[in-house]
């Protein structure tokens, strides 16, 4: 077969494949679970930290984003198993229990709002943005993720509060689209926000304080 014929055939195959990539309005559930560390962590610090499920103030609460397909239509994204506010609170607790301030394990858990009676620190939060969107175009798909959180810690020792706003966004362009790419990028966006929160604060006298 001549080279020109091969090229034409490749283009036709490609167009045929892309033609099947129109969105049908389906909902795909993303798995953002983080694998626990393999190494056994040291005993947790004695400070008791309770994290309440974060309040969801996003304008669109029915989903966390969507993919716009090249040949029209969309596919929606949501989180498997949990609401964003609950998921983010649990992710923060899991991180603190394994590698929190000073790279140590801390006594952190998620509890319903108002139920903590013996906590040294109660952490609450507001989710203003937690989203993942993808737009397919010829030969590539651009994925954008963003997270905007307001986190407040109430210290029982002196009744003080510490408030931090954490905002982050990331972009990735892929040739072959996979929902794994969306999962990885959104998880990385949230992880970066938690990293910033830990770097910007410290535990002092059983209370959460600004680090600077």
Contacts of 147 (CB under 8 A, 6+ apart): 129, 130, 131, 166, 167, 168, 169, 186, 189, 190, 193
Of the candidates 120, 107, 116, 61, the one whose C-alpha atom is nearest the C-alpha of residue 86 is 61
Q: What is the pLDDT of residue 76?
A: 94
pTM of the complete model beyond 0.75: yes
**Sequence-separated (6 or more) residues with CB below 8 Å from residue 10:** none
Q: Which value, in Å, is the radius of gyration of the alpha carbons in the chain?
A: 22
Spell out the domains of the chain, with CATH numbers in brackets.
3-210 (3.40.50)
pLDDT score recorded for residue 115: 86
Helical axes 179-200 vs 84-99, angle rounded to 10°:
60
100-129: pLDDT as tens digits: 998 999 999 999 988 888 899 999 999 999
What pLDDT does 37 receive? 55
The Cα 52–Cα 116 span in angstroms is: 9
Considering only 16-20, 42-46, 112-116, 185-189, which range has the smallest mean pLDDT?
16-20
Q: Which two tokens stand for residue 92?
A: 């923060």
């Amino acid at each position: 077969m001549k080279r020109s014929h091969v090229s034409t055939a490749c283009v036709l195959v490609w167009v045929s494949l892309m033609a099947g990539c129109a969105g049908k309005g389906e909902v795909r559930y993303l798995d953002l679970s983080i694998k626990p560390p393999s190494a056994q962590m040291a005993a947790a610090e004695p400070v008791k930290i309770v994290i309440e499920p974060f309040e969801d103030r996003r304008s669109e609460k029915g989903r966390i984003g969507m993919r716009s397909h090249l040949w029209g239509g969309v596919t929606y994204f949501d989180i498997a198993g949990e609401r964003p506010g609950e998921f983010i609170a649990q992710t923060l607790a899991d991180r603190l229990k394994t590698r929190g301030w000073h790279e140590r394990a801390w006594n952190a858990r998620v509890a319903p709002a108002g139920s903590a009676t013996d906590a040294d620190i109660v952490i609450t939060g507001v989710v203003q943005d937690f989203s993942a969107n993808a737009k397919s175009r010829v030969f590539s798909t651009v994925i954008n993720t963003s997270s905007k959180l307001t986190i407040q810690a109430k210290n029982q020792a002196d009744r003080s509060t510490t408030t931090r706003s954490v905002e982050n966004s990331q972009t990735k362009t892929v040739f072959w689209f996979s929902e794994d790419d969306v999962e990885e990028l959104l998880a990385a966006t949230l992880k970066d926000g938690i990293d910033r929160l830990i770097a910007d604060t410290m535990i002092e006298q059983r209370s959460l304080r600004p680090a600077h």
